[in-house]
Structures are given as structure tokens and as C-alpha cells.
Chains A and B, each alone.
Chain A
Amino acid sequence: MLIAAVIGLAALAGWVSCDRDGADKSGVNHLTYWPAANAQEILLAKESAQLWNEQHPETPVLVQPIPESQSTEEVLLAAVVGKTTPDICSNIWPGVVGQFVRARSLVPLDRFPDFDSLATARLPDGQLESYRFDDGHVYQFPWKTNPIMLEYNINRLREAGFDHPPRTYAEFFAMGRAISRDLTGDGHRDRWMMFVDIQMKWWLRYFDFYTFYIAASQGETLVRDHQVIFDNPAAVEVFRFFQQGFSEGIFPHASFQGDTFLSQQVAVHITGPWNIAHLEKFKSDGFAWDYAPIPVPDDHHGPVITYGDPKNMVIFTTCRQPERAWEFVKFLLSRERDLALLQTATQLPIRKNLLSDSLFVPYYAAHPRMARFAQQAPHTRGVDTVPELREIFDALAQEFEACCILGRRTPEEAVRRAAERSREILQ
């Protein structure tokens, strides 16, 4: 009943509020654009829209931040059901695109004649193919990436006798054993190497298991050709890493209010470039930190690949002016707007020559920490676009909890069980 009531209300809301021809009272055809609902991206979107509107008064853009909710995906789901989707959205997580395509709610972008030339000019080689859907079309344009890296407290590591961040699991544990300790003498630890969220929420595993798995497996994801591919030694190794971290007490078995890295309760943290602005704003005097690639198994060779946390742009089929919407998307993807993305939102555009482009070089010189993320950006992976991804992550999260946090299963058994469950889900 609850289900039907929610869906009914969403549909009703859609019927009531749907602006079917995109025209305002004065008859001007506007485009609605939903950016992410954080302050920096709203500011960026408003700047972009203002510039666009000055140049294109005949098709002004109306910025509406994605309505507040637990996740963008929930809001977009309600919007798809209620047919209240915007014309353009720039905060699309690739994992949800499969569902939107099946619902026929996205415009295939490769129908636009200049799509290929734009994609070729902008995207790193081979990247576009990873976003091509089963039907051969591309429904999302890769826009920005937030490579997930290891954030480390320089002073804390130095105090423990280390002059560089951990590169391998062995180094990580050596540092963890030196850093994790009981400071107050009450027999319980107050400082740890790293905080790993122990809550049973599937999406949290993107920032621990999945990130470390991509690094350990040299860029493998979870599913290929609708087949589970994560039952491999790399996944077992990652499960063992986290299990050992909890069993040795270098990860706390606790939830905390506030930022454990900023309060220096932990020495390292897994995060993306968005955290730079946060730390710069709230850090205490003398707090020094930097970023490094994710630690990898001791026998790892080659560059370290990480989770890219990409967010892409789409045009919804409710849009009555898809050609104009595509023009606006191209405007947002321009070099100048990409520089604004760096400057205003401290996030990285997905584009070729990100480090060497003369437009961006001065920015990196002034922001060396962002340069670390830009160096990592070419070595990232996104997520699989299968509609069942959330359930697969839920299965992984359950095994992660049983094995790593609670130590009730061996890593081999946990990975096998998660893979078996995922195969059932994909059937």
C-alpha cells in the first residue's frame, strides 16, 4: 500500500506540475537544468546559465538544483515516473543509466551529428566505448570525475617514523601498527590508521572495497558481458586486507560523528578532490596533508588505477527542444566551462590533456593538491552499467560485513558467496 501510495503521489505530482512545452508565461521556450545540489555546483551552474542566457536569450536556461533527498537516483526515479524530469541533468551516476534507458527516458546523444567529433576531441581514447549501451547508443556524456585517493596526515606519519604515504598493504599495516594506539591509558584505542564506515549501506562500499578492488585488480570492474568477474584473487586479497585491518584494530569498530581525519583520530582517509576545500576551510593550525594513490598488494606492478566516481550529462526524453539542449550540453563541456568546474567546484573534467592543456596549467600550479588528482584522473574506472548493480553491491556489502568487519567468514568464502548471489541476481 505504501508503495502504491508513493508511486501514485509521484504520478499525481507529475501530472500537476509537468510543464509540457517548456514555455513560460511570456511564451519563451526555456530549458530546465538540474545540477547537483551542493553549493559549489549550484554556483557553477548559475554562472554557466547566466553566460548562456546572455548569448542565447531565445532559449534561456533555468537552473533548479536536484531536489533534496537521500540520493540523486531516488529523485530522478520519482521524476521519471511522474514525467517531471528536467531537460538536462549533469549529476548522473552511470550505474543508474541502464534503468533510465530501459524506461526510454533518455535521448541517445549519438543521434546528434557532431556527437562523434566532440567525443573524439574531448574524451581520452577508448573511454566512450565504456559508456555505450547494449543497443549500441550512447545516452550519457562523460563530464567530470572525482578520482578516489588516499588522503594522509603528513605529521602523523612523520611522528610514526615514515616519510612517505603507504604504497603497499605491507607498508600500510606497518604504519597502522605504529600509529594506532591508546592515548589515554584506559586500555582502549583512541587513534587509528583509517576509518572504515561499518554501516550496512551498499553505496559505502564504493569508497572502500570497490576502490581497493579496482586498484588491486589493475582496473577490473565487477561485471563483463552480464557475467560476474569479481570472484578472483584480487577481490580475496582486498577482503583479507580489510579483515586484517579490523582484526588488528587499526580500523575502529565504531561510528563517529564528525570528521575523524580532521580531528586527527585517524591518519589516513579515502576520499575525492571535493575534500580539499573542506579541509582548507576547517583545518587547525599546523595541520598538513596530501594525497597519494590507493595502496595495492605487495606484488602489484604498473600504475595504480582507482575508482573515478564519474558523473555524466544526459538529456531526458521529456525535453521538447533536444537540439537546443544538446547545444547547452556542448557549452557546459567547453574548455572554459571546464576551467570553471575546476575553479568553482574543485572537480575534474573528463577530458584529454587535462594536465598539459595550457588553459589549466596555471590552475594546477596554484593548487598542487588538485594536480595530484589530475595526475590520477587518466587511471580511473567507473561502474558497470547493469541495472542490477545496486543489488550486486548489496550482496558485496553483506559479505564485506560478515567477513571484514565481523570476521565470521574467510575472504575466500565471502567472495565466493557474493559472486554466487550476484550470479543469481543477474539471471
Chain B
Amino acid sequence: MTRIKHKNLVAYGLVAPYWIHFSIFMAYPLIFSLILVFHKWDVYTPMQFVGLRNFVRLFQDDLFLQSLLNTLLFLLIHIPLQIVAALLFSVLLNEKIRARGFFRAAYFMPVVISGVVISLLWQQLYSQENGVLNLLLAHIGLPKIPWLISPEWAMPSIAIMATWKNVGLYIVLFLAGLQTIPSYLYEAADIDGASVWQKFRSITLPMLNPTVLLVMILSTIGGFSLFIEPYMLTGGGPMNRTLSAMLYIYKQAFYFNRMGYAATLGFFFALLILSVVLVQRKIIEQEPE
């Protein structure tokens, strides 16, 4: 009996650090945020109970709706671009080319660099008057593009930048997927006289399907958390066209001290992401083996 008690104590001791961490940094904030949902609180003054008023406000908030649409537009540009770019580069980097290791490291580099640093770099690249991209366009006789200052161009510009930053991570995933494809499939295709494109379409792509779906889910979750890029590059402008849902929630909380409303938006948004991911998971589960 004593031995069992002792074993239990050891077990509790071993899980305690995690539980302490979980309680302070996960459970407490989650419960506190749930309480905030039903309150008005500006941090300075005591909370006021407001019932469901934050939810009523949420459904009447045109700007939140716009921020959701902006996030959706970002995902629509970012996810296909991400998959195509990562797939293309991974196929190239899977070949026995010279300095392959260097290129693999180079493509991965932006993933480990701070988003703030990358945003500052791209701010210079995108500058209307003296940015490198516009200078190149002007050099070949094309008109300058208002990358970050036109409401129509701003979100696509951010999507391009986010793709550049994250593509290295997905290249790694695709490379792992590519290396699991049995080489005899390509050898058989060679004997049958298949072209490079036919081999890619009929062998590589179908065999990479699970990786494509994984990349899609990860890109979706990552895309929903779009924050640093618009925060640094545009502040949500021009005309709120790059105001992502995360940035909007942040502004409500930390610009305007509307903690209750921000918590409500946060919970709603978390449920939305959960729903989308569950739908994606359902689709994956329906995929044939």
C-alpha cells in the first residue's frame, strides 16, 4: 500500500510541472476570458456584467465581418500559392542538383527569421516610390504597382510575402512526402515511356495527396492567425482591406481596452477556425487510401 502511495506521489510530482504550467498559462486565461465574454471591462475600472450584449454587438459589427472577409481573401490567395510554390520547389530540390543542401537551407531561412524583420524587409521591397520591386518594373518599362497603398493590391501583396516566409516549411513536408514514393513506380513509368509531366501527374501528385491535405490544414490554421504582416506593413489599411480578424481582436483589446468584446470576438473566431478544421478533417477522412 505504502509503495503504491509512494509511486503515486512520484507520478504526481512528475506531472506537476506540466499541470502548473497548464493551469497558469492555459486554464486560467481560458476561464478568465470566458468570464470576460459576459462583461464590459476597460482594465482600469471594475468589470460590469453585460449579459449577451457583446454577442449582439458582434453580429452587428460590420468591421468584424469585413475582417473575416479579408482573412478569407488572404486564405484564398495564400493557400493555393503556398501549395503550388512549395510543391514546385520541393520537386526541384528533390533532384540531384548541385548545392542542393545550400538551396534547401536557403529556402528554409525565412521560416526561422522573425516576422517583424521580414515585414520590415518587404516594406522596403514594396515601397511605392523607391522600392526594389517598383524600380525593377520601371526599369523594364512597366508601371509602378501601389503594392501596399492600394486597397485592391494590399492583401495580395501580404499574401505573397506570407507565402515567401512560410514556403520553406512546406517544402520540407513535401520533400519528406516525395522521399516516401517508391522509386520502382518511376522505373516502371520509364519502361512504359512516360514523359516527365505524365510521371508527375500520375505518380507524384496522387502519392503526395496526404501531404497536400496536411499542408492545406496547416496553411489554413496559420492563415487564420494572420497578424504580424498587416500589423507591421499596413496597420490594417488601406481602407481596412488588410484588417485581419486577429488584428481586429488585438485592436479592440489593446488599442481600445475593450477586453470583454475582444474576448467575445476571440471565442467566436476560435469556434470558426475549429469548424473549418473539422470540415477539412472530414474531407481528409473521406479520401480513398
Contacts and interface: CB of A to CB of B under 8 A. Distances in A.
Contact of B237 (A80, A387, A390, A401): A401
Interface string B257-287: 1010011001000000000000000000000
B184 interface: no
A255 B129 CA distance: 8
A206 B17 CA distance: 49
B28 A390 contact: no
Interface in B214-246: 234-240
B102 interface: no
Interface stretch (B5-13, B30-38, B82-90, B160-168): B30-38
A77 B236 CA distance: 24
A253 B234 CA distance: 13
A43 to B, nearest CB: 30
A66 to B, nearest CB: 18
Interface string A376-393: 000000000001001100
Contacts of B237: 199-200, 398, 401
A277 to B, nearest CB: 27
Contacts, number: 108
Contact of B149 (A1, A77, A390, A405): A405
Given A200-B235, A398-B240, A406-B151, A99 B130 contact: no
B44 to A, nearest CB: 3
A3 B33 contact: yes
B255 interface: yes
Q: Which of A4, A5, A405 has the largest number of chain B CB atoms within 10 A?
A: A4
A408 B28 contact: no
A279 interface: no
Interface stretch (A57-65, A100-108, A359-367): A100-108
A256 B128 CA distance: 10
Nearest to A201: B235
Contacts of A81: 43-44
B146 A253 contact: yes
Contact of A7 (B24, B43, B127): B43
Contacts of A100: 44
A17 B18 CA distance: 26
Contacts of B262: 3
A280 to B, nearest CB: 27
Contacts of A80: 43-44
Contact of B124 (A3, A103, A257, A387): A257
B129 A391 contact: no
A316 to B, nearest CB: 13
B89 to A, nearest CB: 31
Contacts of B240: 398
B28 A255 contact: no
Nearest to B146: A253
Nearest to B250: A2
B253 interface: yes
B259 A198 contact: no
Nearest to A388: B256
B51 interface: no
Given A4-B32, A8-B28, A199 B259 contact: no
A5 B263 CA distance: 12
Contacts of A200: 234-238
A390 B256 contact: yes
Contacts of A405: 149, 238
Contacts of A402: 238-239
B20 interface: no
Contacts of A281: none
B53 interface: no
Given A77-B43, A255-B127, A406-B239, A99 B32 contact: no
B149 A102 contact: no
A189 interface: yes
A5 B25 contact: yes
Contacts of A394: 251, 255-256
A188 B138 contact: yes
B29 A253 contact: no
Contact of A253 (B149, B151, B251, B257): B149
A102 B44 contact: yes
B237 to A, nearest CB: 3
Given A100-B44, A406-B151, A254 B127 contact: yes
Given A4-B36, A199-B235, A253 B138 contact: no
B144 interface: yes
Interface string A246-265: 00000011111100000000
Interface string A4-20: 11011000000000000
Contacts of B128: 252-254
5 contacts: A7-B32, A7-B259, A99-B257, A199-B234, A255-B123
Interface of B: 24-26, 28-30, 32-33, 36, 42-45, 123-124, 127-130, 138, 144, 146, 149-151, 234-240, 251, 253-257, 259, 262-263, 266
Given A3-B262, A74-B254, 15 more contacts: A1-B33, A3-B254, A8-B24, A8-B32, A81-B43, A102-B42, A102-B44, A198-B149, A199-B237, A254-B130, A394-B255, A398-B239, A398-B240, A405-B149, A406-B238
